[in-house]
Amino acid sequence: MRYTIVIQWSELDDCFVVFLPDFEEVMQPVTHGDSYEDAFKNAQDVLELLVESSRLEGKPLPPVKPTFQPAYRVC
């Protein structure tokens, strides 16, 4: 599965913060980094831990949500 990782700069925290929108039951942001690259690596580590934990506990993984949803339809 390919889960979405959202990384954005936080002026308040003075670092890049990471959100995993598919994992709604997990407190967000899930991690951070001083650089974009650090934040991405940390996000991958957290994602691996969440997947491994779910499998060990016999819990289903959350479904992957569409990244972009159209605001309207063109007929």
d(CA 38, CA 32): 8
pLDDT score recorded for residue 74: 60
pLDDT score recorded for residue 75: 60
pTM confidence score: 0.82
d(CA 61, CA 24): 11
Instruction: Kindly report, residue by residue over 4-56, the tens digit of the pLDDT.
Output: 999 999 999 999 999 999 999 999 999 999 999 999 999 999 999 999 999 99
Q: Please, which contacts does 8-15 make with residues 24 or more away whose CB atoms are closer than 8 Å? A: 15/39
